[in-house]
């Protein structure tokens, strides 16, 4: 896979061989898990819109030196599609960012990570309905299992909650974010002319900053400002660097080394990292309904999204 405009050490160099590929796979899945863990850790300190705003502004500034040539090359295309990028900013950085952080004020990082892990199954279901993609019985079964797992998490494994439709508001907000991310991903698939990975990341991040800016100003004046202390700054930078920039680059490099089908299973491993980190760092207990959710969500998403093994090696290409 060609990854234009990435730092050279992520395109070539000593990272080679199956050991390095699986090492990067493990690191990448842990990076993905850092967002709900850090978001939960600072949930009652940093206001949610402020966290989302500064996360994506810092992420944009980090990748800007690498993305700038592509942004200039494709500036006409970006100008023509500015409305589309603002919509992507609403879905990918607004609802999937700030709304999820609102949810993390009310639910655990483990719950949030497990609910978000169903995104690949949601994307598959949306693509079947929206784009007319073919879907096999095995995938339908996987989607149903994953959704059953979400229901277990939403009800905390209690049938009484389902009978009275009594759900945790934080879980529902995170679920809204997961649905929004799925729609965001479908819209990305519909792009006419694909942009280089880092160029598209920078454009989406900047659009998210523009969308979040007026809401951040309102939150600062009407609710509370971001308390800029050493710990909050480090937390925001950690989310921007680890959960946004490095997670993307590690994921793209893993795809290049292992192929898209195997690399995508990092999304299934991520909740396990989140649960472990939440237990160690946040003292969140691992409860029985979490194990029930894992037993349904992870196999369900794998059934829904893993491709059948091909006899020939999968060609690795990507549009520049």
Cα–Cα distance between 137 and 64 in angstroms, integer?
44
Helix (H, G, I), strand (E, B) or coil at 317: coil
Within 13 Å of residue 261, how many CA atoms lie on the same side as its CB?
13
Q: Is pLDDT larger for residue 124 or for residue 82? A: 82
pLDDT single digits (tens) 193-252: 678 888 988 999 999 999 999 999 999 999 999 999 999 999 999 999 998 899 877 877
pLDDT (0 to 100) of residue 162: 62
Cα–Cα distance between 152 and 178 in angstroms, integer?
16
At residue 256 the predicted structure's pLDDT band, cuts being 50, 70 and 90, is: low
- Give the angle 198-29-318 at the CA atoms, nearest 5°: 35
Among the listed ranges 30-39, 125-134, 257-266, which one has the minimum average pLDDT value? Answer: 257-266
Residue 158, number of CB atoms within 10 A of its CB? 12
271 pLDDT higher than 90? no
What pTM does this model have? 0.81
Whole-number percent of the chain with pLDDT over 90 = 36
At residue 192 the predicted structure's pLDDT band, cuts being 50, 70 and 90, is: low
Q: State residue 47 phi and psi, 5-degree precision.
A: -65, 145
At residue 176 the predicted structure's pLDDT band, cuts being 50, 70 and 90, is: very high
At residue 149 the predicted structure's pLDDT band, cuts being 50, 70 and 90, is: confident
């Amino acid at each position: 896979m060609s990854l234009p405009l990435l730092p050279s050490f992520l395109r070539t160099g000593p990272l080679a061989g199956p050991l390095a590929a699986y090492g990067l796979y493990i690191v990448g899945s842990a990076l993905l898990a850092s967002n709900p863990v850090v978001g939960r850790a600072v949930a009652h300190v940093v206001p949610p819109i402020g966290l989302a705003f500064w996360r994506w502004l810092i992420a944009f500034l980090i990748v800007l030196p690498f993305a700038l040539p592509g942004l200039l090359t494709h500036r006409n295309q970006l100008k023509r599609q500015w409305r589309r990028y603002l919509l992507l900013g609403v879905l990918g950085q607004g609802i999937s960012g700030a709304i999820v952080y609102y949810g993390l004020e009310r639910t655990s990082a483990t719950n949030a990570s497990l609910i978000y892990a169903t995104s690949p199954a949601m994307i598959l279901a949306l693509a079947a309905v929206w784009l007319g993609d073919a879907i096999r019985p095995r995938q339908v079964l996987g989607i149903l299992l994953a959704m059953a797992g979400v229901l277990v998490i939403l009800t905390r494994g209690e049938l009484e909650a389902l009978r009275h439709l009594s759900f945790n508001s934080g879980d529902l907000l995170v679920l809204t974010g997961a649905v929004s991310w799925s729609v965001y991903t479908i819209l990305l698939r519909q792009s006419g002319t694909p942009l280089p990975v880092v160029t598209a990341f920078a454009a989406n991040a900047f659009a998210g900053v523009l969308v979040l800016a007026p809401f951040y100003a309102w939150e600062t004046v009407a609710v509370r400002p971001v308390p800029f202390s050493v710990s909050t700054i480090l937390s925001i930078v950690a989310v921007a660097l680890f959960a946004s920039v490095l997670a993307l680059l590690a994921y793209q490099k893993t795809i290049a080394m292992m192929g898209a089908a195997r690399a995508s299973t990092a999304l299934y491993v991520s909740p396990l990292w989140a649960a472990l980190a939440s237990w160690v760092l946040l003292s969140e207990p691992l409860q029985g309904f979490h194990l029930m959710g894992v037993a349904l969500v992870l196999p369900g998403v794998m059934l829904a999204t893993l491709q059948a093994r091909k006899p020939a090696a999968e060609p690795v290409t990507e549009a520049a």
